[in-house]
Amino acid sequence: MSRTAVYTALILRSRASGESNSEITMLTAEEGIIRATVFGGAKSKLRAYTAPFNSGQVWVYRDKAKDYAKLSDFDVHSWRPGLRELYDRTMTAGALAETILLSHGGGGDWGTALDLANETLDTLENANEELCSRLFVHFLWRWAGFLGIQPDLEDDAAGLAEHGIVNISPGCNKWLSAVGELKPSQLHRFSLDNKSFNDAKALAFAVLTSALGKRLASWDW
């Protein structure tokens, strides 16, 4: 049986497939991570539309009998060209995408996962170098909460120790406690010294590394 489905999607990855096609990997609100083939060479409209980190409504034609899917159309709502204008933005967006892919899109509540990713990418598009790093740590910390693996900073000393964290600085504790419920666009309101930021980064990396089973090289740009 063949059918066309419409998804609310974020392009996470695009790779060449054959001589003139590409395969895209998307996070969708309806079915989580899905893949589809995009036909056409470099001048194809759909190839241009499906650059990583673009988001909007996609139409995917599927033939389940042949285990085959192709992108039929894409109504792009967010192009985010600013992500390609600064190295730190590009690397942060790539690390975010890899984190989502390795954690299988969050495992079920895909609409919330998509919101978390889009909110961060929207703010990242105009971020300076310092804010890029903080946005990524903030995303990882919120992602840990979304996955249900975020340790309690006040009452979970044993949980922190499991991740190799003996203690965290008061500034780190205060920042993570304050920003955990904030939207990325509000993050600039809170100052953070280097020691506290490095503690927050180490903790977020340790928690996600434990959950995912590996530390991604893309986290260390």
CB-based contacts of 6: which residues, under 8 Å, 6+ apart? 57, 58, 59, 60
How would you write the pLDDT of the chain (221 residues) with one tens digit per residue?
Answer: 569 999 999 999 999 987 889 999 999 999 999 999 999 876 788 988 999 999 999 999 998 877 889 999 999 999 999 999 999 999 999 999 999 999 999 988 999 999 999 999 999 999 999 999 999 999 999 999 999 999 888 765 555 766 676 678 899 999 999 998 899 999 988 999 999 999 999 999 999 999 999 999 999 97
pTM for the full predicted model: 0.93
17 strand-pairing partners = 21
* Long-range Cβ contacts of 104-112 (<8 Å, 24+ apart): 104/32, 104/33, 105/27, 105/32, 105/33, 106/32, 106/143, 106/146, 106/147, 107/32, 107/147, 108/32, 109/146, 110/27, 110/28, 110/29, 110/30, 110/31, 110/32, 111/8, 111/29, 112/146
Residue whose token pair is 């903080």: 134
Query: Which H helix or E strand runs over 70?
Result: strand 68-78
Chain center to CA of 140: 9
Nearest-angstrom CA–CA distance, 7 and 110 = 11
